[in-house]
Amino acid sequence: MIVEIPTAHDMRDLGVRLAGILKPGDLVVLDGPLGAGKTTLAQGIGAGLGVRGDVTSPTFVIARVHPSLGDGPPLVHADAYRVEGRLEIDDLDLDASVDDSVTIVEWGKGLVEGLAADRLDIEISRTVGSKSELRQVRITAQGQRWDGVKLGEVLGLR
C-alpha cells in the first residue's frame, strides 16, 4: 500500500491510526532518508498508544522504552542509524521485549527483520531539494499476523 502524506501533521495522524491496529508483539521497521518523517510517524504511534514521555529521535541513546499510561503495550523506539551490524542489534536486547511491546526501529532495514516473523515495513520517501512536505509512504505487511488485514480500509485510507 502506498499513501501520499502532505504534511508533518498528516504523518503524525497516520501514526495515530497505525497505533489503533498495533498490538503487543508487533514490529514496525521504518526506512527512509534523513528528514523523511520516520520520527514524526513514531511520535504519532506513541500518541495513539498513549505512552509516557515525548517520543523523540533515539539516535544517540539508540533505544528508549515508553511505558503505557493506560492498558496498552509499551513502545520500544530504537534507532539503528549508528548501529554497525546485527551483533550490535543483539546487544540492544530488543528481542527481550518484542513479545510484549510495540517495537519501532528506525533505520532497521536489513538488521532487525529476525526479531519477529510478522512485521510492518514502512518506507518513507520524499523529493530531495523540494520545498514541498509531500511524502510517499509505502507500507508492506509481512507474516501471518497481517494476513487478511486490509490496511487501507483499517487505516481509513484509499
The domain spans of the chain are: 2-144
- In this predicted structure, the answer to whether residue 96 has a pLDDT above a threshold of 60 is no
Q: What is the pTM of this model?
A: 0.87
Fold type of domain 2-144: Rossmann fold (3.40.50)
How sure is the predictor about 87, in pLDDT bands with cuts at 50, 70 and 90? very low
Residue 154 Cα distances to 18, 63, 82, 106, 158, angstroms:
9, 29, 34, 23, 10
Largest CA distance in the chain: 43
